[in-house]
Structure 1
Amino acid sequence: MTTRSEQTLNLPILDLQLLDNADTKAAFLQNLQDLARNTGFFYLTGHGISAERIHEIEALSRQFFAQDQAQKDALSMTNSPHFRGYSRVNEEHTRNKPDFREQIDIGADLEAVEFDAHTPLWLKLQGPNQWPANWPEFKTIVTAWQSDLRQIAIKLLRAFTLALGLPEDALDRFVTGKPNELLKLIHYPSAEHNQGSTQGVGAHKDAGILTLLLQDQVGGLQVLSKQDGWIDAPYVEGAFIVNIGEILELATNGYLVANMHQVVSPPAQVDRYSIAYFITPNLYAGEVPILELPAALQQLATGPQSDPLNPLLKNAGENTIKGRLRSHLQVTEKFYPEEYQRILNQRQQQEVTA
């Protein structure tokens, strides 16, 4: 089912429409199981999002970042204990180094949780978004995009559990109830402005369940291959790039792979834009279960790999907020001073032992 043009790519392409066809469903699920273990990344077509919808949100993203800096700063993430809003270039960090990109982070638009001494810290992630003033179209388009990608992500998650020989709803408790998700509109300025660094986003694994990425034709996303080192994941028209998050790696005891990836800053006089959707566990879901895989798959599940600079935690909510605290230090310093000091102490210890 692979075309000649697809053979030139470093990552496989899956057509989601094959999942809905009784004659092709079994082959789709087998293919999903194999590639998810071997690469953790693939292109997804047949998802039902039209070219018109894709062009609409891409244009919206460019329009947002073309605003005056003061208009973007009015939505600064430093206004939000829920880590929602706009971040300037170099304000987000990956593996303790600044990422050369600006972005706006938008989550499930919910009321903030009322806190007392017994409320888990990660429930502070629930809350309202910051929306541009006098621009209702922005909220309308973004909210519709979130809703549609959430349905695609849940459909994929259920396909993964079927592909692993498990009930379709094996992980439903992580994606039902109050939603927890993150949409990032992202702009990467060209490398000529980056003072010699090429880090658009540093090497990392995604902390959630699944990520769906829409990227433009500039490229820059790279995936770590055991055989070939860093390989490029170029633009494919109308396709999302899908990757597995740490929660799926943990739930399958390492059978599924949450692969390392990074973004290299675009070349001189070229800007890059992308739109990333992350479906993450319900903040109330508790600890991630280790699924009872069939015996043949269990033999290949050797446990999840944990980054010593960003350790994997079993509690889904704790694992989610851990990444936000470490990535957005200005927000952490303002709203989570104890955690901020702890992170600084950990970094100092790592520098001493490095």
Structure 2
Amino acid sequence: MTHPILPILDLEQFINGDEHSKAQFVDTLRIATHDVGFFYLKGFGLDDEATRQLFDSVRSFFALPAAEKQALHMVNSPHFRGYTSEGTEITRGEKDWREQIDIGAERSILPSDEIPWKRLQGPNQWPASLPALREHVQQLQTTLTTAGLALLRALALVLGQSEQHFTEAFSDAPVQHVKLIRYPGRSTNEPNQGVGAHKDSGCLTFVLQSDKAGLQVYHQEKWIDVAPIPGTVVINLGEVLELLTDGYLRATLHRVVSPAEQEDRLSIAFFLSPRLDTALPPLTLPPELAAKARGVEQDPQNVLVPHTGQNLLKGRLRSHPDVAQRHYADVLS
């Protein structure tokens, strides 16, 4: 069951509803994104069968021999694409106990022109033995991008802007980043950090969960379980939206705790951000909203910047020190 502070919104109400239905959706979205920054969404375009096939492909990937997964190791990629094993990614200085493969939009390499964040764009590393995985992930990217663009239109209305306010920044080549994740079980005498407490660095995050809980959000000084609900995806806001609205919208701390020993948990995260070259200016909020803006929660370990490429690169370098050392030694120096 959903926690009472996390509503379930239906995107179809905004896309296909009449003006009254759209207004109701926007009002509910305003409460959810201002108060907690997390909510459930249905009507996002992926039916139960497509979701099942997607998770079947994800399960098949993690069942591959270790050598086949390691051949796709992220350290091979200056674009931060590929596989990482348990304990390889770092959150707030501690090891995350999950294995995953990071996949972006399949695009050609950009000429770097001495600009480090341009290296983020480039090809993925795909397992040759699982062609269905590529098909299912690319379908997911397309589906959730469509849903995300609709949600951004609604968020623009939440913020008192024109419905198309964010359209240009997400046109042509938005950042479409997928993480396919497996959290192995851990014993009670081991650390339970599946992934440590953090905020996401982009604009919108979609999380598809399998059948086990583990995702938690920090609200009103306590951790709240965000249990999986069939037919929904979990949405949370990224740091960019907090920065643009002076904290009226909240990017909320969240974490994942490891499942019990002898179990595991699958999750799929999709991160939608503006084009890499985009620097979004702060919004001018209507006075009634500006009066409720709480200011940006500045973290000295994670200084927020409005430029998409710079902000994303900052997070990648911190989370993947092995990739940073191999491909970004010039930046680190």
TM-score by length of 2: 0.96
Q: Which amino acid aligns with 1:253?
A: D
The answer on whether the counterparts of 1:14 and 1:43 sit within 8 Å (CA) in structure 2 is yes
Partner of 2:125: 130
2:294 to 295, 302, 305: 302
Q: Which amino acid aligns with 1:222?
A: Q
Partner of 1:171: 166
Q: Give the fraction of aligned pairs with identical amino acids, expressed as a percent.
A: 44
Counterpart Cα distance in 2 of 1:9 and 1:298: 27
Instruction: State the Cα distance separating 1:174 from its structure 2 match.
Output: 2.3
- Between stretches 146-155 and 299-308, larger displacement belongs to 299-308
Aligned CA RMSD, in angstroms, stands at 1.5
Instruction: State the Cα distance separating 1:160 from its structure 2 match.
Output: 0.4
Instruction: State the Cα distance separating 1:10 from its structure 2 match.
Output: 4.7
Q: Alignment length, in residue pairs?
A: 331
1:31 to 25, 28, 42: 28
The answer on whether the counterparts of 2:156 and 2:165 sit within 8 Å (CA) in structure 1 is yes
Instruction: State the Cα distance separating 1:134 from its structure 2 match.
Output: 3.8
The answer on whether the counterparts of 1:221 and 1:234 sit within 8 Å (CA) in structure 2 is yes
State the 4+ residue runs in structure 1 displaced beyond 4 angstroms: none
Deviations along 1:99-129, one digit per CA (max 9) or x if unpaired, are: 0000000001111112333xx2111101111
Matched, 1:247 2:240: yes
Q: Which amino acid aligns with 1:135?
A: L
Segments of 5+ residues of structure 1 without an aligned counterpart are 342-354
Aligned with 1:191: secondary structure?
Answer: coil
Q: Which amino acid aligns with 2:259?
A: P
Counterpart Cα distance in 1 of 2:307 and 2:113: 20
TM-score by length of 1: 0.90
- Between stretches 202-211 and 165-174, larger displacement belongs to 165-174
Instruction: State the Cα distance separating 1:179 from its structure 2 match.
Output: 2.5
Aligned with 2:39: secondary structure?
Answer: strand
Counterpart Cα distance in 1 of 2:232 and 2:45: 10
Matches within 5 A, 1:1-354: 9-19=4-14, 20-22=16-18, 23-117=20-114, 120-192=115-187, 196-226=190-220, 228-285=221-278, 287-340=279-332
Q: Which amino acid aligns with 1:216?
A: S
Deviations along 1:3-30, one digit per CA (max 9) or x if unpaired, are: xx65x55521111121121131111101
Counterpart Cα distance in 2 of 1:116 and 1:233: 43
Counterpart Cα distance in 1 of 2:40 and 2:63: 29
Segments of 5+ residues of structure 2 without an aligned counterpart are none
Counterpart Cα distance in 2 of 1:140 and 1:260: 32
